[in-house]
Structure 1
Amino acid sequence: MGIIMEYGFFRVKGVWIMDSELLQRFASEIADFMGPNSSEDARTVQKGLMLYRQGLVTQLAFNQDMVTATVQDVTPVKVSLDLSFFSMSKCSCPSDEWCRHKMAVFFAAYSRIGSVADWVEAWREPMKEKQAAASWGVQAAKDLIKANGVLKPDYGRWVHSFEVSFDTLLHSKKSTTPYVVEELFKIYERQIRAAAPLEKEWRLLYEMVGTVISFKKLAMLSEQSGHSEELTKRTYGQVFDQLLDDADELVEKIGMQSMPFDFDEFILKLKDDTFGLLTCVQGLEFERIYLYRLLWTGLFKKKEWREEEVLKIKERMKELQDWENPGPLMIAGIHLHFLLQKDDSALRSIHSCGDEFVTPYMIHWIDFLSGQKAWKRVGPVIELFLGKIKRYLDQLDGYRSCASFTRTAIRAIAPFCGENDRFDLFEKALAQTLPYSFSDYEYVLFERGMYDKWCEVQAFIGLNFYDIPKERVKVIEKEKPELLLALLHQSAQREIDAKNRSSYKMAVRHLKKLRTIYKKVKRVDDWEYFFETLLERTKRLRAFHEECKRSKLIES
């Protein structure tokens, strides 16, 4: 029948016709990217809709996985939508963002497979739900405040009040959509704070208990509602972040005051509730461990408590089901061993953990021990960390993630290395984390006059010789010019391998510099042997030889 399918489009008699599935995926990407709660995104959608409805999208065309069109705005603009790679879509207008013109062309294309009005309505639905939930939540919170009033110190009553309020406000629907959780949680928070004790010291403890219970309840809501961790963090992840910030602040404030004797019972019960953070859900591992670790470091300081907790963790590990995540329990046990100054036990446990899992948590223990200036204790942790970091980076996704982790790691070990004159360890860390540590490593090597290693790092990264800062090259050319030979050889060969006229010109530029340095270090014979061998090896590359003659590298 003359029908060919490619890149999600059908080609019939030489004409590309759109496949709805590809465009539906693109529509979903836009819906995720453009937030209905953002006033700027809402304006972009509205303006794009107006341009489309006014018939200002013309010359709409489909070609493989591309949609192109002209939009007649104040001035005509050209738009191309890349349906396979959303971020590669382009518009000739000055905006670098997702603009109204791209939106208008999307609507024009989408109208071929579905209702634009329905898409816009579905996109706006989370905002409607949020507004409705907020209205209902405010009234529900008022009712709860009237019922509870200000709560006097009673741990059980506090927890019961938190749980009832949470369930009333956030379990109000059979299925809570992720878009309303943040708004409802804010109302819930205002409600529980309104019921806080009036005395400052009790209020702080009340808020600390509320933070732990609220965190656990929210984590369990996320899991029970079937929200993926990615969706949770995108839609209401900032709620968890705020809870952790609040906990940080509360632990510091409570730690600064002398705790009344009456607090003991409350702290003991909070300690038991904190244990639940380790197993209450399967996801949000980092956040759960962070909160647990914070409380045991800053609040639960008695040695016997920590020893009892280690035993409790061991018993719970024995009871784990196959589907349960042992990670938080393992990290908690290691942390408690460090708090108890049982570093050998902690290090043995770290050894037994997989690099991918334990490595990011090691930065906290390095920071913790460095903060105490416990240099003898932190050294072995850093040595073990550096033995794991390269394997961890190898499995980490994306250059940006690797670079960010590397910066954090280097910053963590710097105090120990500086305080103990361990440049060897610092350099080892920089070497282990290449290429992500390149800018720091090359700077340190150059400043210390370690030009041989500096050149090795440049060669490892593979920068073009003429992309290296000229002022650095001049210094090395004056001090140790022979070190530049390997870099120039590498750059020249890379340009020759590219096999095009412009790269040959650049290769000749490198070769002339090579010749200069060989003469400077009185190794003219080496240069002549190398160049003769190179010409023989590249004799079929006539364009390259022409460039060599033009530049007088080859005598006519």
Structure 2
Amino acid sequence: MEATQQILSLADELGELLHPNTVEDAKLVQKGLMLYRQGLVTQLHIYNETATATVQDVTPVRVLLDFTFLGMSECSCPTEGWCRHQMAVFFSAYARSGAGSVGDWVAGWREPIREQKAVSGWGMQTAKDLIKANGVLKPDYSRWVHSFEVSFDTLLATKKYTSAFVIPELFGIYERRIHASAPVEKEWRLLYELVGIVVSFRKLAVLSEQLEHTEDVVKRAYLHLFHNMMDDAEELAQKIGVQTTPFAFDEFIEKLKDDAIELLTASHGLEYERIFLYRLLWVYFFKKKSWREEELEKIRVRGKELQDWENPMPLAVATIHLNLLLQHDELALKLMAQIKDDLFTPHLVYWIEYLSQLKAWKRAGPVIELFVQKVKGYLEHLGAYHSCAAFARNALRSIMKYCVENDRADLYERALLAMLPYSFADYEYLLFERGQYDRWGELQALAGFDYYDLPKDRVKLVEKERPEVLLAMLHQTAQREIDQKNRASYRMAVRHLKKLRTLYKKLKRVDDWQYFIDNLLERTKRLRAFHEECRRSKLI
């Protein structure tokens, strides 16, 4: 049962990692499916958290799937990353374990394409009619918002089309409609598009909740729409920031400020995305100190009205953000420390990045310290290896700016340690470059690497500089091979034992070697095949 659950978890992770609209991913799934259906996956063994199999392709390849850490899966073919052979073994393991039907998994994965084809062309005439009716809209904030809301409701908020997988197509039609009605003047067009993003973001978040789409469905079907709007809003903020804006903008910005709080309260899903857009607006557009103070009071009042079932996190994050903008760092840090929810941790990365851009190093340091304390719990909550590795990579990039500027290698190393195993590559590189070979060897052993997994160039250098570092790993690798109890693994074990003997001699510790080999032979005296291999290699 446990293996089945792990395979189901792997199936979900692959559903996130591979996208049916990407040509390469679609081909990879198709080729893996063909190999599986042609019966070319053989010698499948599912054991604990792994599966091994042989795939008969042009030449036979050996595959290892790691259900827990997708990145640790291996294939003997030359392809880097996830390949068709691993895909075929996944399908075979999925079917064997009783996790479900392979056909159903593939159909579910491809559903977005089928739904999009079904709806393509729908609503185009509606969009054209709306453009003819409204024409190009002159600058008027209330009219803009009304136009966006009417267009959105007409094109998306209908009971007839509620499938999550048609939303991207319909939203594309809606976007083309609002772009067609944008003001001609460049500066007004940019502001129009920004207001459009805020309204569209809020409307889509509310629609998602009304349609009761789960987080997983949103992620698979149309989460990218929210991320695109976040990217577009950031780009617009930069463009508007470098140009001279008319005084008439002030009224629009103030009205947008009054509506922005709805991003926090209008729906309950898409928490991170809603908070991101809210924070961006308050950084770039709503800069007056009095506005920020008034907003804090609004949030305080709204917080008192929260029902038991409502999530207080968006309002809490907004409160911290506004206090940081007002440079009330002591209060902001106190509020950060009080939040126990692991999902709060990604927001710290945003503030680290923000303060680093300002080169406010004294202010960024305490936020990084708090992040290091909280990150382990968040990674445990996140679970999926691919997601954890991506988060760790981005977080380290943000932290590094501070650590380099302030000569805080110690803090960077603490962050690496807190994010293991997802920070393994960065930490391994750091220790090796520093020449801390003892700790480098310990890290390799902790990660479960065998001696023959290590890069040859690094092993060569460590053997020259600190050969004793390799002893523990060779002992560990040789024992693992002996434990396999087959002739091929005994031969591999003997190879490692011969290397061990060479290193002991180099270190002038022949007595230690003799003591070890005598004990080993005594412990394994029932393994005749192993002793035969030892004699053949003149270890005995």
Instruction: Tell me which interval the TM-score lies in, with the shorter structure as reference length.
Output: 0.7 to 0.9
Aligned in 2, Cα 1:354/1:78: closer, same or farther, shift over 3 Å?
same
Native 8 Å contact 2:155 2:170 kept in 1: yes
Native 8 Å contact 2:112 2:221 kept in 1: no
Aligned in 2, Cα 1:127/1:79: closer, same or farther, shift over 3 Å?
farther
Partner of 2:487: 501
Alpha-carbon distance between aligned partners in 2 of 1:484 and 1:139, rounded to the nearest angstrom: 71
| 1:133-182 Cα shifts (integer Å, max 9, x gaps) | x34x2222233223322222222122112111211222244553333322
SS state of the match for residue 222, structure 2? helix
| 1:291-341 Cα shifts (integer Å, max 9, x gaps) | 111111111111121122222222222211122122222222222222222
Native 8 Å contact 1:179 1:235 kept in 2: yes
Q: CA deviation at 1:357?
A: 1.0
SS state of the match for residue 301, structure 1? coil
Which structure carries more relative contact order (alpha carbon 8 Å, separation 6+)? 2
Native 8 Å contact 1:150 1:197 kept in 2: yes
**Residues 1:141 and 2:141 are matched in the alignment:** no
Alpha-carbon distance between aligned partners in 2 of 1:405 and 1:315, rounded to the nearest angstrom: 34
SS state of the match for residue 336, structure 2? helix
Aligned in 2, Cα 1:388/1:491: closer, same or farther, shift over 3 Å?
same
Native 8 Å contact 2:268 2:311 kept in 1: yes
Alpha-carbon distance between aligned partners in 1 of 2:19 and 2:352, rounded to the nearest angstrom: 40
Q: CA deviation at 1:217?
A: 0.9
Partner of 2:191: 205
Where do 1:449-460 residues align within 5 Å?
Answer: 449-460=435-446
Partner of 2:509: 523
SS state of the match for residue 295, structure 2? helix
AA of the residue aligned to 2:515: Y
| 2:456 pairs with one of 456, 459, 470 | 470
Partner of 1:329: 315
Identity percentage over the alignment? Answer: 59
Partner of 1:195: 181
Native 8 Å contact 1:36 1:127 kept in 2: no
| 1:472-530 Cα shifts (integer Å, max 9, x gaps) | 22222222222222222222222222222222222222222222222222222222222
Partner of 2:104: none
Where do 1:31-70 residues align within 5 Å?
Answer: none
Q: Which moved more, 1:231-240 or 1:294-303?
A: 231-240
Partner of 2:349: 363
**Residues 1:543 and 2:529 are matched in the alignment:** yes
| 2:115 pairs with one of 98, 119, 126 | 126
Alpha-carbon distance between aligned partners in 2 of 1:196 and 1:247, rounded to the nearest angstrom: 16
Partner of 1:485: 471
Partner of 1:262: 248
Aligned in 2, Cα 1:334/1:239: closer, same or farther, shift over 3 Å?
same
Alpha-carbon distance between aligned partners in 1 of 2:402 and 2:22, rounded to the nearest angstrom: 46
AA of the residue aligned to 1:495: E
| 1:236 pairs with one of 197, 222, 227 | 222
SS state of the match for residue 479, structure 2? helix
| 2:401 pairs with one of 415, 436, 445 | 415
| 1:386-406 Cα shifts (integer Å, max 9, x gaps) | 112222222322222222112
Native 8 Å contact 2:112 2:165 kept in 1: no
Aligned in 2, Cα 1:89/1:128: closer, same or farther, shift over 3 Å?
farther
Q: Which one has the largest radius of gyration?
A: 1
Aligned in 2, Cα 1:432/1:229: closer, same or farther, shift over 3 Å?
closer
Alpha-carbon distance between aligned partners in 2 of 1:89 and 1:465, rounded to the nearest angstrom: 24
- Normalising to structure 1: TM-score of the pair? 0.77
SS state of the match for residue 481, structure 1? coil
Partner of 1:20: none
Native 8 Å contact 1:430 1:437 kept in 2: yes
Partner of 2:74: none
Q: CA deviation at 1:278?
A: 0.6
- Consecutive unaligned residues in structure 2, runs of 5 or more: 1-10, 47-52, 60-82, 96-107
SS state of the match for residue 468, structure 2? helix
Alpha-carbon distance between aligned partners in 2 of 1:202 and 1:127, rounded to the nearest angstrom: 33
AA of the residue aligned to 1:305: W
Aligned in 2, Cα 1:280/1:468: closer, same or farther, shift over 3 Å?
same
Q: Which moved more, 1:373-382 or 1:492-501?
A: 492-501
| 2:497 pairs with one of 511, 514, 530 | 511
Alpha-carbon distance between aligned partners in 2 of 1:449 and 1:124, rounded to the nearest angstrom: 52
**Residues 1:224 and 2:210 are matched in the alignment:** yes
Q: Which moved more, 1:379-388 or 1:172-181?
A: 172-181
How many residue pairs were aligned? 476
Aligned in 2, Cα 1:472/1:180: closer, same or farther, shift over 3 Å?
closer
Where do 1:358-397 residues align within 5 Å?
Answer: 358-397=344-383
Alpha-carbon distance between aligned partners in 2 of 1:382 and 1:206, rounded to the nearest angstrom: 37
C-alpha RMSD of the superposition: 3.8
Alpha-carbon distance between aligned partners in 2 of 1:222 and 1:451, rounded to the nearest angstrom: 52
Q: CA deviation at 1:229?
A: 2.7
Native 8 Å contact 1:403 1:436 kept in 2: yes
SS state of the match for residue 507, structure 1? helix
- Normalising to structure 2: TM-score of the pair? 0.79
SS state of the match for residue 466, structure 1? helix
Native 8 Å contact 1:355 1:388 kept in 2: no
Partner of 2:102: none
Native 8 Å contact 1:518 1:524 kept in 2: yes
Alpha-carbon distance between aligned partners in 2 of 1:301 and 1:426, rounded to the nearest angstrom: 33
AA of the residue aligned to 2:157: H
Alpha-carbon distance between aligned partners in 1 of 2:136 and 2:343, rounded to the nearest angstrom: 44
Aligned in 2, Cα 1:79/1:246: closer, same or farther, shift over 3 Å?
same
| 1:179 pairs with one of 165, 179, 183 | 165
Q: CA deviation at 1:355?
A: 5.1
Alpha-carbon distance between aligned partners in 1 of 2:342 and 2:250, rounded to the nearest angstrom: 39
| 2:332 pairs with one of 346, 360, 363 | 346
AA of the residue aligned to 1:130: V
AA of the residue aligned to 1:126: E
Alpha-carbon distance between aligned partners in 1 of 2:228 and 2:206, rounded to the nearest angstrom: 17
Alpha-carbon distance between aligned partners in 2 of 1:433 and 1:35, rounded to the nearest angstrom: 31
| 1:109-140 Cα shifts (integer Å, max 9, x gaps) | xxxxxxxxxx9xx9997356413xx34x2222
Native 8 Å contact 1:175 1:225 kept in 2: no
Aligned in 2, Cα 1:355/1:424: closer, same or farther, shift over 3 Å?
farther
SS state of the match for residue 540, structure 1? coil
Alpha-carbon distance between aligned partners in 2 of 1:329 and 1:187, rounded to the nearest angstrom: 33
